[in-house]
């Protein structure tokens, strides 16, 4: 714990200021000549005033520049966020040291309903190419979307259903198209979006196609196919083909809107861990959403969202059909936002209450189906209230749920008996924000703190898993006796802003009374479930068990205007452009308190610096990221990862031809071709010396046109 405190102090000194998410800041969307790849921390806008806070947001040209092939890669290295990668085609975000179903992934505020939390090799069926904005939510607002979001909520937003008018009564058309090529995986991708309509009707169409080859890495890799082993500097079986499309229509009413959208996502990708296995994924998603505003003296707006998902994940060993997972589900949300209520003495009460109902059925078939077919139903009631004062804001959120998880009839009743479990999780969160800012530019200090008590119902695999899990090379067993996961989280932070200068810092502690963790039993089992003598005859057995756990962490960032403008630390002629220095740092220490050992797959201490230059139509960025060694692993013999330093650069150019805005960009990643391994990837542990490292030196070019 002493090491953690000392490193916390070092990073605090580096940050040179306090910081957390700023309530009421404007949404950032870099679409002009401003420096690219900038990330802002802002409140989540909700109609005219920011009700929910805090939120980390990535949008506009910043999203275009940072965009990766997966959601986890796109958000990787933002303060507090890492990537739980399973090769270049699968990546979920790890938020504040927590991963899987402890991080809630949403699409436009609605349930995503995939099975990416079930296994490390299951991809999230959302592609950043068609994404308008990505938000990461912390604090009381997360309880609006689920009690499972102890780590946070990642909300991916598109514009398939229009929430506001974009055209007048005469109508209009706008769109965007993008092509990119290159990178360590020889990516070739195209994407296009078109929107049209008038003040009463909005139509949206988008489509994308992405192809990648095997990933280039800075070391020779062995690849064995059909009994023949070859060596190359590419990761075997890491190529992919992903494509999708969506269409939506919205009726824009005098006091609201009513919209309908449907989309399809298809992907075929190699599993990396098994050189002869590919995965075919198909997701069809339909959403109806509407909102009615100004409904009366007490209700400002009533909103509903209904979503229906059909998801199929099929594993193909060679040309044969292997294990198949099908997930079909429905989700319904209804929420009412109350009118702001003046209470006197400068006090104003604002808030939202709502109901949520999710239901999904998972079917697992095949020799590697380590979970039974199952059904999960949940119903929830939630409320969020914000008391705004002359000195800041006090917020509170409450969520109560009823969850049923059932193991259904299966071909192997000895492993998967029919059984039903019921849970009633309750969660509560409180937040306070003290605002010292002054002036129209909102310069000054802002301090905030959040405290939450969360309960999470176990997932189907945590209860009923019983079989060999090829992605991790283990025999995985659930525990039908599992109680609800219980966590208490507290964070404290602040933000400072003075014109172009800003600094942010947040520290947090998350304590679990019951953390559902895979623990080794010391046994080995073969594929039939029989106990064998050694690893040569079977896989090590890991079983879900509730343990006490604690995570302590810090996130910080600083932005300084070095050159250009009256507030710059060094002024210069305007013809030289503007130069910013951006610093960031984060660290998480995670411990299993029951067994007195570290939790697995935790990101190391990370320090980053970026020099960002802009002048007229040009922009450039030079960045360095240093990740420390991660030697805190749970068991003797587990793989530790060495520290590494990555250098990256990018350049962009903006121009116009008539009404069309063009952006051309180039990205240079891992300039020194540094050999580095991710401590958050399970492959680092399971594949030994043939584990795939991070991508090698690469150049990617892109062109985007918008009108």
Please state the pTM of the whole predicted model. 0.89
Distance CA 250, CA 335 (A): 19
447-461 burial: b if 16+ Cβ within 10 Å, else e: bbbbbbebbbbbbbb
pLDDT of 190-233, one tens digit each? 999 999 999 999 999 999 999 999 999 999 999 988 889 999 99
Reference 590, options 245, 131, 39, 96; nearest CA is 96
Please give the structure tokens belonging to residue 601.
């797959």
In this structure, the number of other CB atoms found within 10 A of the CB of residue 648 comes to 18
Distance CA 575, CA 616 (A): 9
Binned average pLDDT, 10 residues per bin, the chain of 707 residues? 40 33 35 36 38 72 86 92 92 93 91 82 85 89 89 92 93 95 96 96 96 96 89 95 96 96 96 91 96 88 96 89 92 93 88 96 88 95 94 94 91 86 97 85 88 96 92 91 96 92 95 96 90 89 96 96 80 76 97 97 97 93 97 93 97 94 96 97 89 96 95
Please give the structure tokens belonging to residue 363.
């079917």
Q: Over the chain, what is the mean pLDDT?
A: 88
Distance CA 82, CA 605 (A): 11
Q: Under CATH, domain 2-706 is a member of which superfamily?
A: TonB-dependent receptor, beta-barrel domain (2.40.170.20)
Strands 133-137 and 618-627, sheet pairing: unpaired
Looking up tokens 């990668």 gives 85
pLDDT of 634-671, one tens digit each? 999 899 999 999 999 999 999 999 999 999 999 999 99
Reference 211, options 118, 316, 127, 97; nearest CA is 127
pLDDT of 379-407, one tens digit each? 999 999 999 998 999 999 999 999 999 99
């Amino acid at each position: 714990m002493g090491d953690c405190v000392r490193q916390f102090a070092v990073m605090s000194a580096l940050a040179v200021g306090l910081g957390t998410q700023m309530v009421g800041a404007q949404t950032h969307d870099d679409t002009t000549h401003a420096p690219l790849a900038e990330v802002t921390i802002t409140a989540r806008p909700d109609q005219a005033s920011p009700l929910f806070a805090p939120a980390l947001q990535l949008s506009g040209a910043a999203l275009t520049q940072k965009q990766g092939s997966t959601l986890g890669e796109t958000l990787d290295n933002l303060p507090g966020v890492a990537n739980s990668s399973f090769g270049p085609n699968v990546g979920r975000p790890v938020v504040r040291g927590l991963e899987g179903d402890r991080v809630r992934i949403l699409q436009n505020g609605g349930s995503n309903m995939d099975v990416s939390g079930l296994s490390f090799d299951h991809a999230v069926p959302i592609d950043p190419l068609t994404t308008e904005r990505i938000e990461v939510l912390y604090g009381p607002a997360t309880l609006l979307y689920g009690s499972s979001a102890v780590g946070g909520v990642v909300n991916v937003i598109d514009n398939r259903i229009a929430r506001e008018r974009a055209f007048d009564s005469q109508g209009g058309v706008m769109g965007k198209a993008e092509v990119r090529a290159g990178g360590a995986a020889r990516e070739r991708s195209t994407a296009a979006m078109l929107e049209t309509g008038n003040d009463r009707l909005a139509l949206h169409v988008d489509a994308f196609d992405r192809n990648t080859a095997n990933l280039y890495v800075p070391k020779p890799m062995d690849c064995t196919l059909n009994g023949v082993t070859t060596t190359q500097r590419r990761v075997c079986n890491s190529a992919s083909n992903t494509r999708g499309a969506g269409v939506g229509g919205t009726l824009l009413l005098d006091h609201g809107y009513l919209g309908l959208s449907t989309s399809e996502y298809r992907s075929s990708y190699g599993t990396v861990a098994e050189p002869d296995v590919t995965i075919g994924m198909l997701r069809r998603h339909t959403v109806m959403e509407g909102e009615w505003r100004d409904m009366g003296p007490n209700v400002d707006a009533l909103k509903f969202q209904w979503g229906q998902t059909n998801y199929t994940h099929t594993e193909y060993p060679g040309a044969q059909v292997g294990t198949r997972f099908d997930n079909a589900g429905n989700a319904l949300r209804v929420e009412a936002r109350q009118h702001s209520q003046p209470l006197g003495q400068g006090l104003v009460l604002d808030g939202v209450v709502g109901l949520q109902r999710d239901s999904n059925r998972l079917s697992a078939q095949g020799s590697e189906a380590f979970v039974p077919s199952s059904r999960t139903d949940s119903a929830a009631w939630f409320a969020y209230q914000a008391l705004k004062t002359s000195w800041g804001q006090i917020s509170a959120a409450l969520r109560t749920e009823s969850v049923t998880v059932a193991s259904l009839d299966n071909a192997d009743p000895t492993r998967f008996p029919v059984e039903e479990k019921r849970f009633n999780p309750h969660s509560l969160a409180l937040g306070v924000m003290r605002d010292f800012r002054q002036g129209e530019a909102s310069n000054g200090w802002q301090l905030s703190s959040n405290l939450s008590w969360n309960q999470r119902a176990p997932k189907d695999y945590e209860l009923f898993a019983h079989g060999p899990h090829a992605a991790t090379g283990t025999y995985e067993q659930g525990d039908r006796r599992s109680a609800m996961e219980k966590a208490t989280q507290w964070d404290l932070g602040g933000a400072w802003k003075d014109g172009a200068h800003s600094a942010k810092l947040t520290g947090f502690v998350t304590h679990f009374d019951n953390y559902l963790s895979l623990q080794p039993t010391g046994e080995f089992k073969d594929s039939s479930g029989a106990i064998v003598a050694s690893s040569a005859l079977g896989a090590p057995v890991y079983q879900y068990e509730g343990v006490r756990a604690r995570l302590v962490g810090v996130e910080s960032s600083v932005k300084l205007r070095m050159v250009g403008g009256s507030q710059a630390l060094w002024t210069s002629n305007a013809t030289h452009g503007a130069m910013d220095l951006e610093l960031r740092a984060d660290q998480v220490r995670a411990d299993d308190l029951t067994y007195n050992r570290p939790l697995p797959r935790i990101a190391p201490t990370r320090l980053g610096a970026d020099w960002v230059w802009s002048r007229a139509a040009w922009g450039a960025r030079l960045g360095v990221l240093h990740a420390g060694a991660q030697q805190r692993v749970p068991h003797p013999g587990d793989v530790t990862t060495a520290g590494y330093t990555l250098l990256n650069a990018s350049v962009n150019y903006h121009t116009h031809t008539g009404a069309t805005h063009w952006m051309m960009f180039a990205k240079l990643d891992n300039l020194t071709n540094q050999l580095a391994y991710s401590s958050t990837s399970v492959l680092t542990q399971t594949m030994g010396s043939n584990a795939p490292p991070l991508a090698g030196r690469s150049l990617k070019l892109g062109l985007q046109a918008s009108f």
